[in-house]
């Protein structure tokens, strides 16, 4: 039986979001025309992601680690591997890695359209 290649997507070059934070956006333009964008990013123990706020909706899928999420400026809550978190447009959000391992999050974001 011939071995088929798994249809994997690549990443754009990695960049730093802030000290202790690395971001890799998925290259969806390479093979698919998705109605959203996606990334994988991480925060080292003892560091925070930059404060983020934008005009798109966003979902986080926490893959590993744990942290403290601050959103809407002053609301705080614990997050951990397995959690899925949603942000509406213009809701500020930042995460601090409170654990001892790398906090890794997959993120998707999209523009809200009227139906």
- Confidence at residue 2, expressed as pLDDT on a 0 to 100 scale: 58
Q: Does CATH number 2.60.120.10 belong to domain 36-110?
A: yes
Check whether 113 has a pLDDT greater than 60. Answer: yes
- Confidence at residue 14, expressed as pLDDT on a 0 to 100 scale: 85
Q: What percent of the chain has pLDDT over 70?
A: 95
3 state SS of 15:
strand
Find the mean pLDDT for residues 90-108: 97
Report the number of secondary-structure helices (H) and strands (E) in the chain: 0, 9
What pTM was estimated for this model as a whole?
A: 0.85
Contact 78, 86 (CB under 8 A): no
Structure tokens at 7: 């249809």
- Confidence at residue 70, expressed as pLDDT on a 0 to 100 scale: 97
């Amino acid at each position: 039986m011939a071995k088929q290649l798994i249809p994997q997507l690549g990443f754009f070059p990695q960049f730093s979001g802030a000290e202790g934070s690395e971001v890799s956006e998925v290259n969806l333009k390479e093979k698919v025309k998705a109605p959203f964008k996606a990334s994988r990013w991480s925060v080292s123990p003892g560091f925070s992601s930059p404060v983020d706020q934008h005009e798109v909706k966003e979902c986080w899928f926490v893959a590993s680690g744990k942290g403290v999420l601050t959103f809407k400026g002053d609301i705080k809550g614990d997050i951990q591997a397995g959690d899925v978190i949603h942000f509406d447009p213009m809701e500020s959000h930042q995460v601090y890695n409170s654990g001892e391992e790398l906090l890794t999050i997959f993120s998707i974001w999209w523009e809200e359209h009227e139906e």
